[in-house]
Chain A
Amino acid sequence: MWKRAADPMELPLVLLIGLLTAVATWLMLSRNLIRLLLGFGVLGNAVNLSIFVAGRLTRDTPPLVPLDAETIAGAFANPLPQALVLTAIVIGFGLLAFALVLAWVAYERLGTVRTDEMRVAEPPEEKA
């Protein structure tokens, strides 16, 4: 279990996460597909920062084991969040790349990027 005092950088980072989340939510509420995807990108960064903060911010030595030792002496920074964030960034990048290409294809074939005008799969009730 965790037992460490919070680092002073925690509050600014948390505020930044809040700000990014607010911006992303605002963007994603748009009916424009491009804004929705931009919102996804911003929200992804907010979530990645949350992982980083969840791993605790500390001012310790880097998690590198010296050549002549088996373990690190003393406190060291938590390396796991960086591995998680790195994975999440790569996955988020892949998803965003696909989504952008999809938006482009949608614009080409459907002629719009507004989600409320995309009614091909679920057409409005047929007129009798």
Chain B
Amino acid sequence: MSIRFIRFISSRWTRLVLVASVLMGFQTTLLNDMRPFGVMAQVMVLFAACAGVIYGAEIGVVAGLIIGLMYDCVLTTPLGLASLVLGATGFIAGAFPYFVRESSWWNKAIAVAVASAVGEILFPVAQALVGLGGWVQWRIFVVAAVVALINMVLAPLLLPIVRWTLKETLIG
């Protein structure tokens, strides 16, 4: 029983939930107040993209779906929408290891920026698909560009955190 509990506690998915809760705290406070060019930085999208870039598509999708579901609980869009969008973002970012064999920090940052931009565009598109129209405007490209730029700058800081969070096990 205790071994099971220790395994559960040391599992990457438990760590993911805890780390994502802290990041979401920053998302709803600090990043909500600081809006360069009127656009909010999206650290949850950044996390999903980093997970995909480091650990590939499968881990990226699962991480994106889980943190997306948590993010959905503080958003006003239908529950589950951000989950699918962040899952897709993790999947897109997960394509990066297939194309680049020996990656450096800067091309990972670029991959994170591209995946973040696509993920940010997917948000209004997904909203339109479930009938919440009106958000598919030219502005989404500006938003995507700013989010990509911010995430490219933040990626070198978050990549080690994501690597530690999603490490297979911390014991044994």
Please indicate whether A and B come from the same complex rather than being unrelated chains.
no
